[in-house]
Amino acid sequence: MSIFVPKRGSGWLPTCMVLAIVLIAGSRLIVLSMQYHAAQARESAQVTAARSARAIESQLQALAEVAQRQATRAAGTVGRKDAPARPQFVAADRNTFWMATDGSVLRSKDSDPTTVEGAAKDYIMQDSPEPAAD
């Protein structure tokens, strides 16, 4: 049985050089691939964000139109001499509610009472002054 002893100039150096070049080139390709996928993900996220922003904007516009219509209706009932004494006789739009200055709520027939009461409480708490810090 003989012991293997590498001979001088037997090719180990070129093999190591090729291995190093392959590892460096492979790592560079991986980095470039990750940068490319990150750029694609960023563009996709921007498109999704823009689409969501447009959807939210249209919903806010619809809510603003409902609020304007309700405000016009409320101004017409409160400011007129022949207006009903109680706003309960004026129908609110679907899934809306009116809130008086004293915090009482008049909701439409089809609105969820729990949601309306929660929104009214949140508004009152937001509008009330914060307690002073000691």
Q: Which residue is it, tokens 């516009």?
A: 61
Q: Is the pLDDT of residue 36 over 90?
A: yes
Strand partners, 105: 99
Q: Residue 123 has what pLDDT?
A: 76
Q: How many CA atoms lie within 13 A of 75 on its CB side?
A: 6
The answer to whether the beta carbons of residues 77 and 90 sit under 8 Å apart is yes
Structure tokens at 94: 């679907």
As a whole number of angstroms, the distance between CA 70 and CA 35 comes to: 52
> For 38, phi and psi rounded to 5 degrees?
-65, -40
Q: Compare 73 and 89 and report the one with higher pLDDT.
A: 73
Q: Whole-prediction pTM value?
A: 0.50
Q: Is the pLDDT of residue 28 over 70?
A: yes
The percent of residues above 70 in pLDDT, for the chain, comes to 69
How does pLDDT run across 91-112, given as a tens digit for each residue? 566 667 777 777 677 777 777 7
Q: Is the pLDDT of residue 1 over 70?
A: no
Average pLDDT value over all residues in the chain: 79
What amino acid occupies position 14?
P
Q: Is the pLDDT of residue 8 over 80?
A: no
Q: Compare 88 and 95 and report the one with higher pLDDT.
A: 95
